[in-house]
Amino acid sequence: MENEKALDRVLKQLAEDVRLFIELSLQEPDTSWDEWLKLSTRNTPVRCWEMKGCGKVDCPAFLNKEGRCWLIAGTMCEGRIKGEFALKYKSCTECNVYRESIFVDPVTEIYEHVLTLVHSFRTTQSKLRAQATKDPLTGLYNRAYFNEVIMNEMQRAKRYGNSFSIVMLDVDNFKWINDCYGHIFGDKILRDCAEILTRSVRASDVLVRFGGDEFVIVMPEGDIERCQEMVERIKSNVDEWNTRLANPDYSLSLSAGCANYSQGMDIMSVLKEADEKMYREKRASGSEM
């Protein structure tokens, strides 16, 4: 009877944890997964570094108080880096830390298998979303994600009367860069531009590789003045990059255009306005290639 009560209690807890995971998995931030993992492992903390007296400070599991080492990618067991759980399953399940923690009784073992399966689902979900929304060259968001963000910002503008700003940027003379220095160098320029822009934007801004050598920044609750301040910050960081490169034959520059969206406006007209301003600046500087 006591065993049946214990089993019933564990199954109810498992059902609750899985239900909570489904709810949290609908949220975009990775913090939702971290929150679920903390809640689902609150009763059985497993600290491999503590159990083994480990001193590998570079291991991502070191001093980790919530996660299980077998669910953490890149652990440094046996003196070498381990991959994700699916790749290190055999070695982890043979480890005494795993065995002492999980093979306590059949219920605990089943619970941990479900937890691991859920973790695998979440990891796969994150990978698929990254593939669908991230540009593989620069690591920035891509145009598909931009379309999602624009729809969300338009809904916010309609609901709360907010406005938002669009900044369009283009690498000057990019075709000339590829022709003179090659596409590998051209790719490096795009990655460096992504790094410069990432350092220049606010945490609330959304930075996108729009296509080719063109980038877009969505500034929630922005205005033209803030746009101009951002553009000046970007150009200052570009100047710093040029100083560090110190190449007398090449100097990086970006052209930019800003436009504001308010409730009821045509978003395509706003994008066109930003694009036209960007090309006006490009023509004025004589860098239309």
Q: Which residues are catalytic?
A: 213
Which pair of tokens denotes residue 252?
A: 């990086």
The one-character DSSP state at 13 is H
Reduced to 3 states, what is the DSSP secondary structure of residue 94? coil
β-bridge mates for residue 206, sequence order = 218
Contact 105, 10 (CB under 8 A): no
Count CB neighbours of 159 within 10 A.
9
Contact 230, 158 (CB under 8 A): no
- Give the residue from 121, 118, 145, 123 showing the smallest Cα distance to 134: 145
Rounded-to-integer distance, Cα 225 and Cα 174, Å: 28
Question: CA-CA distances (angstroms) from residue 91 to 45, 85, 192?
Answer: 20, 10, 39
Count CB neighbours of 145 within 10 A.
18
Q: How many CA atoms lie within 13 A of 65 on its CB side?
A: 1
Rounded-to-integer distance, Cα 238 and Cα 199, Å: 11
Rounded-to-integer distance, Cα 76 and Cα 86, Å: 16
What's the CA angle centered on 18, arms 15 and 24, to 5 degrees? 140
- Give the residue from 101, 79, 77, 100 showing the smallest Cα distance to 87: 77
- Give the residue from 117, 62, 60, 44 showing the smallest Cα distance to 85: 117
